[in-house]
Structure 1
Amino acid sequence: MTQARPSDDAAGSFSPQRAMLMRVAYRMLGSVADAEDVVQEAFIRWHATDRSAVREPGAFLRRTVTRLCLDQLKSARHRRETYIGPWLPEPVMEEDVQEDVTLPLMLALERLSPLERAAFLLHDVFGLDFDEVAQTIQRDEAACRQLAVRARAHVREARPRFEIDRQTGKEIAEAFFAASRSGDMTALGAMLAAGVSVHSDGGGKRPAALEPIIGFEAVMKVHESLVAVFKDGGSKLVRAGLINGLPGFISLEADGQIQTTTLDIEDGRVTAIYIVRNPEKLRHLN
């Protein structure tokens, strides 16, 4: 690469692209910290590039970030295979932008190959045409179309079928927190679907179920067992809102650390509860 002229403002031209690049990287990797590292590496490469020869900085940087993510996913897949308990993406609360990839969809993306994931996200989520997708992942257009088709088949069921606006989502999250923490099992039970499940990610660093808890009765028993802890002031609501596009809340727990709880809802009932307790995945929320 040709060394950029000193007079060029690399930071100034990179800054408007940063939010978009973070969205791409986070959705590819499921990790805020890894996404930040990738975006920082993209900036270093941008600084060393002859920027006067780049006609579309956004497309150039998007390609750079996607390729860096593809490299990162090779090691990430191994880490997740040896992860203790269920693996959940790092929770993100986005205030100004409607979430386009919900938590269940991100979990479905985990089952895709890195190239399928890239083709699906770039085309179906970020709206790029297949010509740019092909340039980005260095495959021909026909191959990219096939990658996207296969990806859609895998994630179809994870697509959100019930949209919930921010205010309604916040009210549902607050109601769930109040019922679960006060020990009002009647109110809590009225919110849960028959096949409700709980997925708790402690990463081996905080207590959490090593397997998903499935079914109304099992989920109710777990909450009944926690009533005594909660009644002693062991859980305080910090903030409610949308987390990864779903209703949820951040709470301060008895051990002095925060956790997030996210609710997947269908037909007015909670069908899945996702709890992130791993402190390494919550640093950005502190």
Structure 2
Amino acid sequence: MSARNADTATEAFVTHRNLLFTVAYEMLGSAADAEDVLQETWLRWSSVDLGAVRDHRAFLVRVVTRQALTRLRTLRRRKESYVGPWLPEPLLTAPDVAEDVELADSVSMAMLLVLETLQPTERAVFVLREVFGLDYDEIAEAVGKTPVTVRQIAHRARGHVAARRPRAAVSAEQTRQALGAFQRAVETGDLRGLLDLLAPDVVLLTDGGGVVRAALAPVEGAETVAAVLSRIAGAASLRPAQVNGHPALIVQLGGEIDTVLALRLDDGLISGLYAVRNPGKLSRLEHETVVSR
């Protein structure tokens, strides 16, 4: 590749990097794996004859999608032997991510867990169509299917996600208020206050990855979850943060990040709590990660 083409390739990749990272992350739920996919995408992009590429963005999205699909199939096998519940790698995000409601929803912990229930190709089609608005022809090229098949996959994936996503849209302000009340109840050990905030069938998932102490199965029911959370009082400090486009809590012990705690709201009550404790998933909480569409 000539120096001029190399400069053009670098400029195009940098221009679209945040988009490519977001595509890979939404498909994988892992920032570390998304970065690996970007590296693989760059290696392929840097060897392409740019004169034959009409649309740099579309080409790069196609390459990153194919690389992410390959890695996603590997990750699914890895998750089968994962110790305890698996949760997505949390990202510290800028406040403006929350202003893009669709983007914030797509990278939320709750949505990423819903996407985990899709087959790899379904997940790719859903992400590219519903989040990034690609047309069916573009998606067909990215996933190696016909446009007609992609339409069918998209329809099936939409129905699957709709049945599992939060029952009603929740604003950032509603989440912030619920989180504030939740934080006060946890910090003061207010068991009654916690029970008032938790849905009767609330589920707490804790991801320790077999590295740190965590429940190896979902903790279910308001009273059981409240009892677990009440033990945090006085033992840790909690600070609000924007995680995956939504208000969340970062739990610190001895000045070190110990846990990221995100929540899901349904009908005004906390129906899901996601506690990421695996140290390998907490490295990106020291600085903001840029996600974009």
**Is TM more than 0.5 here?**
yes
2:258 matches 1:265: no
Task: Give the match for residue 65 of structure 1.
Answer: 64
Q: CA deviation at 1:245?
A: 4.3
Q: CA deviation at 1:176?
A: 1.3
The alignment partner of 1:21 has SS state of helix
The alignment partner of 1:48 has SS state of coil
Deviates more, 1:81-90 or 1:168-177: 168-177
Task: Give the match for residue 86 of structure 1.
Answer: 85
Deviations 1:123-165 (A, max 9, x none): 1221111111111111111111121122223221233443333
1:159-170 superposed matches below 5 A = 159-170=165-176
Identity %: 42
Looking at structure 1, the residues matched to 17 and 200 of structure 2 have their Cα atoms a distance apart, in angstroms, of: 43
Q: CA deviation at 1:254?
A: 5.3
Task: Give the match for residue 186 of structure 2.
Answer: 180
Q: CA deviation at 1:42?
A: 1.1
Task: Give the match for residue 105 of structure 2.
Answer: 100
Q: 1:7 aligns with which of 4, 17, 22?
A: 4
Kept after mapping to 2: 8 A contact 1:199/1:212: yes
2:283 matches 1:278: no
Looking at structure 2, the residues matched to 12 and 205 of structure 1 have their Cα atoms a distance apart, in angstroms, of: 40
Looking at structure 1, the residues matched to 23 and 255 of structure 2 have their Cα atoms a distance apart, in angstroms, of: 34
- Which residue identity does 2:42 align to in structure 1? F
Task: Give the match for residue 135 of structure 1.
Answer: 141
2:251 matches 1:251: yes
Q: CA deviation at 1:177?
A: 1.8
Unaligned runs of 5+ in 2: 287-293
1:89-238 superposed matches below 5 A = 89-95=88-94, 96-97=96-97, 98=100, 99-101=104-106, 102-224=108-230, 226-227=231-232, 230-231=233-234, 234-238=235-239
Looking at structure 2, the residues matched to 77 and 134 of structure 1 have their Cα atoms a distance apart, in angstroms, of: 23
Deviates more, 1:100-109 or 1:192-201: 100-109
- TM-score normalised by L of structure 1: 0.90
Looking at structure 2, the residues matched to 236 and 217 of structure 1 have their Cα atoms a distance apart, in angstroms, of: 23
Unaligned runs of 5+ in 1: none
Looking at structure 1, the residues matched to 109 and 239 of structure 2 have their Cα atoms a distance apart, in angstroms, of: 21
Q: Calculate the aligned-residue CA RMSD, in Å.
A: 1.8
Kept after mapping to 1: 8 A contact 2:261/2:274: yes
- Which residue identity does 1:20 align to in structure 2? L
The alignment partner of 2:238 has SS state of strand
- Which residue identity does 2:64 align to in structure 1? V
Looking at structure 1, the residues matched to 74 and 209 of structure 2 have their Cα atoms a distance apart, in angstroms, of: 17
Do the aligned partners of residues 220 and 238 (structure 1) sit closer, same or farther apart at CA in structure 2, a change above 3 Å counting? closer
Q: CA deviation at 1:258?
A: 2.7
Figure out how many residues of one structure are paired with residues of the other and give that number. 277
- TM-score normalised by L of structure 2: 0.88
Kept after mapping to 2: 8 A contact 1:191/1:270: yes
